[in-house]
Structure 1
């Protein structure tokens, strides 16, 4: 069973992603193309709590180039005996070691413009293939865009990555569905819901996949969930009417 969609990926509608960031100025180094957002002032009460709970720990530095924190007594990155876990801190340290041009982390809210532009370019190319009906090529573009978005550095706003992934994977889910790969379409829709729960599009994609897999009741539940977040969404209301017809 196949269904038509009221708008293809890339067309203007209320669920569209934010517009692409402006191109960097000539002469800027790609790895330093960081857009900075306004840094909020720290909460004095929260700072006081942090200072009160601060406890110094014994550590030593290990290879490579004394960039890895280890417990001083056992030389372990994660030590149950000492109650220490430097895994995340060391992963951030490795990023700087592997990228010597980044001499220090940017302020909170910094965004890599080059990565944003790459994600947007690949997603837009996928949309072009989608409109041409070349869905396998569209999936390839969406997959590359999703991979780049998922590799944002730890200090970049997590919400930005979620917004990018939600839009990309929603489009990829549509392409998978058109090609008849409804399991993959369902998997992508589930991720969209996880990263952008109030957005009806994820539920729409999941409901479409469930219908094709023979689970109409499950599809009804997803549409009803979407309408809890967006009760005036005409697309979801129309789909609900289709699902509740007696001759469906």
Structure 2
């Protein structure tokens, strides 16, 4: 898949593309990332890419013309029969979640527009943007962090990126967990500063370990994200054993071993 990033700050992406396990996806081009600066497509000595908003007010607005020329260069370079979707990161977009990440991870990619300043000229949005994405109800100084979040989430789902191919199957929000939160994790030593690893994890009894993890997942979801239980229940993801455990769960307090 290929992601073309329209950004005024392409240098921000260097650490993402060269660090951590996800760099395997970028090195192998299973996730092909290409960076495009709209300033390269602006005119005049100053290569201006923004101007004051009509109607007054603070801040600047990204100009439509350099963005369109940049997009045209991308379209020509991609040479696709069906143009890739153009995604804008903005507050009105759909919140990014696991289901959306899975869908993008199986797609052929997209063009990602990282807005800056007060935003992008609405006429460019109306003419070219096909989807909008939000990370949540807060405002960033630009769309680059949101683009990197999407790229990282997509890259780690590609074959050969993670050491254990099945590890992402048990991430929080994954269908393998019925969309619930993942259980806690422990490693050596068995006792650290007086805190011991839960005995169930040391038992070597696979069914018992699996059940412990399931109950921890249910407990964490009930305490921190109860809406996930509602969704899992409506989808038929909770077993009678799950429901019986939830009925015995205290309203508050630490989870048992």
In the superposition, the TM-score normalised over structure 1's length comes to 0.30
Give 1 or 2: higher helix fraction: 1
In the superposition, the TM-score normalised over structure 2's length comes to 0.29
Give 1 or 2: higher strand fraction: 2
